[in-house]
Structure 1
């Protein structure tokens, strides 16, 4: 079975697949009367909205401002309807939708047409809103870690022929699983999503050569930027990198001013664990909370991945490379939308080998950056891929850059 390209796996029309999915969810929802009881986390969110004049205004206006080209009746009417839909999908796992499209991330789909409005951008930058969204996503993660979430792990869903092709074309060869067992032996959606590679299936390129930097994720190259500034013009439309914000005002940020950023992105079908790009020692590692559904003023959420590195939840892992020429570098995993659970599995002060696991994403597709100091010359090897949204995956642990002797 041959692997599909990224372009073949992605939906051709975001609006259409979101609207179709919302329509299916609306059909499955029980009647919602005045006495409909929300999950406590969703109810708390509702109370936060309604206790603030600012938030009430934003959440009312965002629905009035959403584009009118939605196919009726598949749309979210107001924030009350939004909260009911969010409540309903807390017991829904991501589906491989229609067997020929990327899955609709439930909460992203519900908010899709309001995130990019003026009021939506103001609301989803709000710290109180993001606090409540984090609590809601934590509730959802518990469900995704339960056996009940396995219902999508079937030959009509994630183990369909097309889904398998999007996951590389040879699932049983690549991943630890047991096709003789129900759900291929996975105990939950999250267990499937954070699946592990078979031993030695992705050998580390040049394991004894510290000049070689390997790909830390199974991902497609998005952008390479040199001479990055600490206080670049913070412009949503310009999609500028800003080290101050990217590195969460960390005191180590100054050491990367004028350096190079390599960014790559993952889709939902990818392997979602992170591996170290170099031999070295973990200097510092932590997760920085951020926004979850802030939508920059662009036509495509995925196209704004460079800007989202400034504001989304992200894991920062600073590595002192064994190669003194590289010295300090940073791996930054960015959790986008539902992918807000960035889990670091390596401790500060520990030595790490090139290709060793350092953490993982939960929920869905995302992006990462490698950040290098100024003066570090890098000869990139992108395996004939051109950075951008049409690039295809470069396998994890393969060489992506080399530094001089």
Structure 2
């Protein structure tokens, strides 16, 4: 397998740039906590506590992952001292929405809280346990309910931490998206409504709409890796995380068609547009969400193990993800797969209601979205389906500021008859 890969050590806006900022943020949240013996506010956190208390293996994991020291993180001190304190911190998050920040850890607060534990041996085992992932899904569903409610709109204000502040407006590029500038909250009904904002008319035009040999970008993302001659089976958990088609595509019956083909992967930052669009014109063959892990990272990557951007290949096989198979109108492309992959708390993959078998999509049509963000996306092609990728799509190992591929812009070209 031949692989072109850029090591994206620059974080994508999910975590702070410096360790000190993360620890200060965590200390601030801990200072606001009351007595550990106080009851939890959310029933799902009590259910979480009951699971830890009643299951000896899970209790061992959670106790030890707080006691252990991360081998890949250089914390100045131990901030979290007990499982109950950890659960109270999560409990508090479920009634908050992410604030705007240029550097502090506010965009993914659950990751900030769990960061220490994710980098320990016991934590890496715990976050692969199906029972732990089942309760984490319930926690994330409870938070999603809040983030879909009007109560979460309090962060849409013009304070320095608000998403309507001058700096946030500039960074988000709100004028490129549908919104009502006269409305108190720009016309959005919740935090998630804002986060999954839609493009304004004329923004992100479809590249070469009448040329079915031109494949467009499915997401607004940064190129991460292009792998060719991809295998059906590989040890995706080892260093370099080679793609394993059977695992990535959840053992779908189409896997054989992609063996020896190509995988393109890009990652999304916290401020990117988070809807997915069809790279080609074609007919939906299948579309489903594959459950998976939420806070698991690739422990094979040494000092970079807990940096999510360095675990992108691994996450494509184990994290919660959508799998959308499209039979392109262009026979040179044929069957292809769009695989948006969730990461940590940004793991809700919502497929569009009309994206069902037999439905025809035009190139650039919307397929679905990440609720509260997203992490990475893969496009899977049959052997010979891609003649070349555009220069902008090629991962650049020396780039200090990685380029962002605009959604619906030219990504690749199929062979022309």
Work out whether the TM-score is over 0.5. Answer: yes
Q: Distance in 2 between matches of 1:236 and 1:387?
A: 23
Once the two structures are TM-superposed, the CA of residue 9 in structure 1 deviates from its matched residue by 7.4
Q: Distance in 1 between matches of 2:27 and 2:196?
A: 29
Unaligned runs of 5+ in 1: 1-5
Superposed, which structure 2 residues align to 1:253-402 within 5 Å? Answer: 253-297=255-299, 298=301, 299=304, 300-345=307-352, 346-383=355-392, 386-387=395-396, 390-402=401-413
Q: Distance in 1 between matches of 2:54 and 2:12?
A: 43
Provide the secondary structure at the position in 2 that maps to 1:59. Answer: helix
Q: Distance in 2 between matches of 1:348 and 1:147?
A: 34
In structure 2, the residue matched to 1:22 is: 26
Q: Distance in 2 between matches of 1:185 and 1:120?
A: 41
Alignment coverage as a number of residue pairs? 394
TM-score by length of 1: 0.92
Tell me if 1:42 matches 2:59. Answer: no
Provide the secondary structure at the position in 1 that maps to 2:408. Answer: coil
Tell me if 1:163 matches 2:168. Answer: yes
Q: Deviations over 1:254-289 (max 9, x none)?
A: 211110000011111011001100000000000000
Tell me if 1:88 matches 2:92. Answer: yes
Q: Distance in 1 between matches of 2:236 and 2:266?
A: 21
In structure 2, the residue matched to 1:3 is: none
Once the two structures are TM-superposed, the CA of residue 364 in structure 1 deviates from its matched residue by 2.5
Q: Deviations over 1:123-179 (max 9, x none)?
A: 000001000000010000010011111111122222233333332xx422x000112
TM-score by length of 2: 0.89
Q: Distance in 2 between matches of 1:113 and 1:105?
A: 14
Once the two structures are TM-superposed, the CA of residue 46 in structure 1 deviates from its matched residue by 1.5
Stretch of structure 1 that moved more, 370-379 or 252-261: 370-379
Tell me if 1:120 matches 2:108. Answer: no
Unaligned runs of 5+ in 2: 1-8
Provide the secondary structure at the position in 2 that maps to 1:113. Answer: helix
In structure 1, the residue matched to 2:230 is: 228
Provide the secondary structure at the position in 1 that maps to 2:225. Answer: strand
Q: Distance in 2 between matches of 1:45 and 1:8?
A: 30
Does structure 1 conserve the Cα–Cα contact (< 8 Å) formed by 2:223 and 2:404?
yes
Provide the secondary structure at the position in 2 that maps to 1:88. Answer: helix
Stretch of structure 1 that moved more, 315-324 or 371-380: 371-380
Once the two structures are TM-superposed, the CA of residue 384 in structure 1 deviates from its matched residue by 7.4
CA shift in 2, pair 1:291/1:357, >3 Å: same
Q: Distance in 2 between matches of 1:153 and 1:135?
A: 26
Does structure 1 conserve the Cα–Cα contact (< 8 Å) formed by 2:297 and 2:314?
no
CA shift in 2, pair 1:44/1:348, >3 Å: same
Q: CA RMSD in A?
A: 2.0
Provide the secondary structure at the position in 2 that maps to 1:287. Answer: strand
The one of 48, 52, 56 equivalent to 2:55 is 52
